[in-house]
């Protein structure tokens, strides 16, 4: 009797703990329909009316076969990983050098979704740990139905200026499957322009700029569609199934952002750069060949990429401290930053308009879109806001006789429905970032990298490829 009472007491304690955690989770979700799950928890621990584990039991009462135990453990693990991946942490591997020296190619990160609040998944039916495509078989890892609206749960804070942020690639809403990089929209724009460049087509030459861009996109889209062996199928992806990117947030909603001679200014004040920021520098030696030891001494990433080059001219990504060290070397005759100057075409960077003749190193000023803020829109600035209005905020946008129509209504202004951010890589001259594809909407924000749990150098073989000094390194350093 005493033993039976102890068992019942233990069951009630377990139920109480489980029920409390479940109720707190429901309050966090702000969806009280989930409270209907409490009777299920009560039955699991107390009444046990439904035989939840009946599928594992054998007729003679013997121990269930090993495969059932393994299947049970696998299902539990998948559910646990799925929930952890949605609400708490996500693994991310650094694929490119855009954030060197802060984060290196081959770094594996724990990304905290609690830092900014996790998103309720917009495509809830997806396979855990696979972003959008199963490897090898190259099929979708998610179901497009059902689709839920964007909603973010409470987190520990908001995105701050200078944060390293993981986000879904905004321009990844449409993808040429075999060529996901550069973005589909840059591909069709470039192919369309190449076919119209120097064109004597009077219709094209006399069109307003926005109409020219539309014509270029149509030609480019037709080219991609007619060459499936090169580009593959053109597919659309929901927000949370777009590829993951990681960059540094340099401008917040409402900020006035600009770059002048490679220096960033926010609201007129110079932005304090982290020490690891790199720019490309042109170097001229006295004829001395820079060898592998030179690159290793300066800790230049991927030295094999440069070691075979013959002097005296070089172009290298360097931090300021590396530049200061190189200047002291007797065989260096000249070192200068590689700076791109704006031109009248406006085709160097987003929004690819002659009305915004900016470059990689001289950009803006541009005021970041902020939720609730209204801006004037015209044929002169529509390319700057086009993707925000149509692609990110789901409105229809048309231009008829130089008049802009949003959702079928003529208008000269627009009020933003979301906040937007400007993201840059620390490796400034080797980063595909907001300068090339525009603003990052708030619903694309995933989380903040916390620490490096594994780091592997792709240019070395095991075990020399393990960067032991980076294990459990804070990702923001």
Residue 309's region, left for phi above 0, alpha for psi from -120 to 50, else beta, is beta
- Among candidate residues 97, 98, 115, 183, the one labeled active-site is 98
- Is 140 catalytic? The answer is no
Rounded CA-CA distance 174/163 in Å is: 27
Q: Cα separation of 225 and 45, whole Å?
A: 57
Considering only CA atoms, give the Rg of the chain: 27
Is 98 in the active site? Answer: yes
Rounded to 10 degrees, what is the CA torsion of 203, 205, 211, 216?
Answer: 100
Selecting among 247, 258, 353, 455, the annotated active-site residue is: 247
* Catalytic residue list: 98, 247
């Amino acid at each position: 009797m005493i033993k039976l009472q102890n068992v019942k007491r233990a069951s009630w304690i377990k139920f109480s703990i489980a029920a409390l955690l479940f109720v707190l989770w429901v309050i966090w979700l702000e969806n009280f329909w989930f409270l209907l799950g409490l009777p299920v928890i009560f039955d699991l621990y107390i009444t046990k009316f439904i035989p939840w584990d009946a599928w594992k039991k054998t007729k003679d009462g013997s121990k269930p076969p090993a495969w059932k135990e393994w299947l049970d453990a696998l299902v539990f693990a998948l559910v646990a990983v799925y929930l952890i991946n949605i609400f708490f942490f996500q693994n991310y591997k650094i694929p490119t050098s855009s954030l060197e020296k802060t984060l290196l190619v081959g770094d594996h990160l724990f990304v905290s979704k609690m830092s900014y609040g996790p998103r309720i998944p917009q495509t809830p039916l997806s396979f855990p740990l696979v972003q959008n495509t199963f490897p090898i078989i190259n099929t979708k890892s998610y179901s497009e139905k059902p689709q839920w609206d964007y909603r973010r749960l409470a987190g520990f804070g908001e995105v701050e200026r200078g944060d390293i942020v993981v986000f879904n690639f905004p321009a990844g809403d449409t993808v040429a499957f075999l060529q996901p990089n550069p973005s589909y929209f840059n591909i069709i724009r470039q192919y369309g322009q190449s076919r119209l460049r120097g064109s004597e087509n009077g219709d094209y030459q006399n069109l307003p700029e926005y109409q020219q861009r539309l014509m270029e996109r149509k030609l480019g889209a037709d080219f991609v569609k007619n060459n499936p062996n090169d580009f593959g199928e053109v597919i659309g992806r929901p927000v949370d199934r777009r590829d993951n990117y990681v960059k540094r947030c340099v401008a917040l909603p409402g900020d006035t952002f600009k770059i002048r001679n490679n220096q960033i200014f926010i609201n007129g004040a110079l932005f304090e750069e982290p020490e690891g920021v790199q720019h490309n520098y042109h170097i001229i030696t006295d004829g001395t060949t820079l060898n592998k030891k030179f690159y290793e001494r300066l800790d230049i990433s991927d030295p094999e990429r440069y070691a075979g080059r013959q002097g005296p001219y070089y172009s290298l990504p360097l931090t300021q401290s590396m530049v200061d060290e190189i200047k002291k070397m007797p065989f260096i005759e000249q070192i200068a930053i590689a700076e791109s100057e704006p031109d009248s075409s406006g085709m160097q960077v987003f929004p690819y308009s002659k009305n915004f003749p900016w470059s990689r190193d001289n950009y803006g000023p541009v005021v970041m879109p902020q939720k609730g803020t209204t801006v004037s829109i015209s044929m002169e600035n529509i390319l700057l806001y086009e993707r925000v209005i149509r692609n990110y905020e789901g409105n229809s946008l048309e231009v008829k006789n130089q008049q802009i129509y949003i959702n079928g209504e003529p208008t000269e202004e627009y009020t933003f429905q979301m906040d937007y951010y400007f993201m840059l890589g620390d490796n400034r001259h080797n980063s595909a970032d907001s300068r090339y594809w525009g603003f990052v909407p708030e619903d694309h924000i995933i989380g903040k990298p916390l620490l490096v749990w594994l780091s592997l150098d792709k240019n070395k073989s095991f075990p020399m490829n393990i960067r032991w000094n980076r294990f459990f390194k804070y990702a923001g350093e």
